[in-house]
């Protein structure tokens, strides 16, 4: 059981965005996707999330094609956190998180409990009754993180759960970047398969089981952080010269540019 892509390609308005992508996201493992701007990271995430239909190939979720799932059942096990949110209505933060429970029929009491827990998990319990539109950018992003957490909070009958995140740390301060990594690691420990698009090589290296470097819509290298992060690949993909060290405490590769 996994979220798997086979031979994906995608062309929008004559621009090839993705080509020949093969990818498996395993339950309990964290995959980070890196690459320069326009490499196709977000497109990949949108195809995996079922938002865009690939021109060739297919995506399967727990052995069934994405398109064969009913939208509601699929939403119980596959959550997506986009880079930006369009929400512009004065919900409270708790109400926004509650939207994550839309695909479930678990009852109001139970859902409220999950909302409280999810907000606590992102260090946002103090936000619960605040009006979403009045929050700071980082607070809003945390609320949405709590929302997708609430969506896939507990194991359910549809099978293994997966979470796709598009630059979840982009507007966070250092402490909340760490917090996000902890949240993601915790999810993986509970068996959730995570795919995360991220720009910070070192953050990516710290939490990833699998790292993917993309360029021009293709996967250039995939493997463990140690396998992927070396001077050669970084020069090839990002066109920068980097020194690779080792993190003094946890031993992961450390990229110094």
The residue among 68 and 173 lying less far from another protein, judged by its C-beta, is: 68
The residue among 100 and 193 lying less far from another protein, judged by its C-beta, is: 100
The residue among 104 and 206 lying less far from another protein, judged by its C-beta, is: 104
Q: Which two tokens stand for residue 15?
A: 């621009």
Per-state percent for the chain, helix, strand, coil, to nearest 5: 35, 30, 35
Q: What's the closest the beta carbon of residue 255 comes to another protein, in angstroms?
A: 32
The residue among 13 and 241 lying less far from another protein, judged by its C-beta, is: 13
Q: What's the closest the beta carbon of residue 102 comes to another protein, in angstroms?
A: 4
**Please, are residues 125 and 119 in contact by the beta-carbon 8 Å criterion?**
yes
Q: What's the closest the beta carbon of residue 165 comes to another protein, in angstroms?
A: 12
Q: What's the closest the beta carbon of residue 44 comes to another protein, in angstroms?
A: 15
The residue among 96 and 181 lying less far from another protein, judged by its C-beta, is: 96
Q: What CA–CA distances, in Å, run from 45 to 21, 74, 93, 94?
A: 12, 16, 26, 26
Q: What's the closest the beta carbon of residue 45 comes to another protein, in angstroms?
A: 11
Question: Number of helices (H) and strands (E), helices first, in the chain?
Answer: 9, 12
Beta strands in the chain, from DSSP E residues, in sequence order = 3-12, 15-25, 30-34, 56-61, 64-65, 78-81, 162-166, 193-197, 210-215, 218-223, 243-246, 253-256
b/e code 69-84 from CB counts within 10 Å (16+ = b):
beeebbbbbbbbbbee
The residue among 22 and 51 lying less far from another protein, judged by its C-beta, is: 51
Q: What's the closest the beta carbon of residue 93 comes to another protein, in angstroms?
A: 12
Q: What CA–CA distances, in Å, run from 214 to 71, 91, 100, 236?
A: 29, 37, 30, 11
Contact set with another protein (CB under 8 A): 46, 49-51, 70-76, 78-80, 82, 85-92, 95-96, 99-100, 102-103, 131, 133, 151
């Amino acid at each position: 059981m996994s979220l798997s892509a086979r031979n994906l390609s995608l062309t929008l308005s004559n621009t090839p965005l993705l080509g020949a992508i093969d990818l498996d996201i395993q339950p309990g493992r964290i995959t980070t996707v890196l690459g320069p701007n326009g490499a196709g990271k977000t497109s990949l995430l949108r195809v995996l999330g079922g938002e865009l239909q690939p021109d060739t190939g297919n995506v399967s979720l727990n052995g069934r094609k994405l398109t064969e799932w009913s939208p509601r059942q699929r939403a119980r096990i596959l959550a997506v956190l986009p880079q930006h949110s369009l929400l512009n209505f004065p919900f409270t933060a708790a109400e926004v998180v509650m939207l994550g429970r839309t695909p479930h029929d678990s009852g109001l009491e139970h859902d409220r409990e999950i909302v409280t827990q999810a907000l606590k998990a992102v260090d946002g319990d103090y936000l619960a009754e605040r009006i979403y539109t009045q929050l700071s950018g980082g607070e809003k992003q945390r609320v949405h993180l709590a929302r997708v957490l609430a969506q896939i909070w507990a194991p359910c009958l549809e099978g293994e759960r997966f979470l796709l995140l598009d630059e979840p740390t982009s507007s966070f301060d250092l402490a909340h970047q760490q917090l996000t990594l902890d949240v993601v690691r915790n999810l993986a420990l509970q068996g959730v398969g995570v795919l995360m698009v991220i720009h910070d090589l070192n953050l990516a290296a710290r939490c990833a089981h699998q790292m993917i470097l993309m360029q021009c819509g293709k996967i250039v290298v995939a493997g463990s952080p140690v396998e992927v992060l070396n001077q050669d690949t970084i020069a090839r993909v990002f066109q920068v010269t980097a020194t690779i060290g080792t993190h003094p405490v946890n031993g992961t590769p450390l990229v110094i540019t």
